[in-house]
Amino acid sequence: MKKTVIVAMMLVFACITVAYAADVMTFENSKGTITFKHEEHQEMLDGDCSLCHEGTPDKFGIDRSFGHTTCKGCHKEMGGPTSCNDCHQQDAEAAEQATRAEIVEMCKKAEELLLTNKDAGIAEIANKEGQFVWKNTYVFLMDFDGNMLAHPMIPQLTEKGPLFHVADKNKDNPKMIFVEFVEIAKNNGEGWLWYMWPKPNSREPVDKFTYIRRVGFTDLLVGAGIYHKK
């Protein structure tokens, strides 16, 4: 009888303690955010609190040495994440950043499609829900006369005729970007250019680094850019 009561009390205590601990904890630090699934770890480790806690489980002030000794140490033995970026995750915005490799790959894909079927390519690039709009960026299509042929974010640009007189959004040091796009495509076939432009769904200009690629030997070019992280 006595034993049962004690066990019951221990269970109640255990439940109360567990109820106060968050299922998932996040530790923000200079290297990125760590998402620690406390409850999942407890279950996975058969409820053995002593693997991480000394004495009564509570906050103990997690720090780098605990993370790199206890957390990482166990992962090495039992198979959890051991590389920096698997534990320390850069912010969501960084994860949403398109990479330069993706940009080149998408522009090549758009080029292939345009060379196979120009109309289908134009329609797909202009489609905001299409494959050439991804993460925080998109592909656009122009011709060597400066006309925008497809732009998923600002379709009005396709109605403006040649854009050679239009500058970027850098008030202090405007760049005639459409002239430069065509020069890059004509003279080099491909290249990168810095200028200022708003991100999709925003009005505030930020630094943009754009890849330009001539479409085969046609008078067309495609482009897509990454935005500088502020």
List interacting residues with ligand HEC (CB under 6 A): 17-18, 20-22, 25, 27, 29-31, 34-38, 40-42, 44-45, 47, 49, 51-53, 57-64, 67-68, 70-72, 74-75, 78-84, 87-88
In sequence order, which residues have a C-beta less than 8 Å from that of residue 230 and are 6 or more positions away? 206
Of 34, 98, 108, 30, nearest in space to 71 by CA = 34
- Structure tokens belonging to residue 214: 């001539």
Residue among 73 and 189 whose Cβ is closer to ligand HEC = 73
What is the spatial distance between Cα 97 and Cα 135, in angstroms, rounded to a whole number?
6
**Angstrom distance (rounded) from CA 141 to CA 220:** 7
Residue 23 beta carbon to ligand HEC: minimum distance, rounded to whole angstroms: 10
Helix, strand, coil content of the chain in percent (nearest 5): 40, 20, 35
Provide the minimum distance between the beta carbon of 54 and ligand HEC in the complex, in angstroms, as a whole number. Answer: 11
Q: Which is nearer to ligand HEC, 21 or 206 (CB)?
A: 21
Q: Least CB distance from residue 13 to ligand HEC, whole Å?
A: 9
Q: Based on CB atoms, which residue is closest to ligand HEC, 29 or 127? A: 29
By C-beta, is 80 or 200 nearer to ligand HEC?
80
Shortest distance, CB of residue 34 to ligand HEC, whole angstroms? 5
Contact 228, 205 (CB under 8 A): no
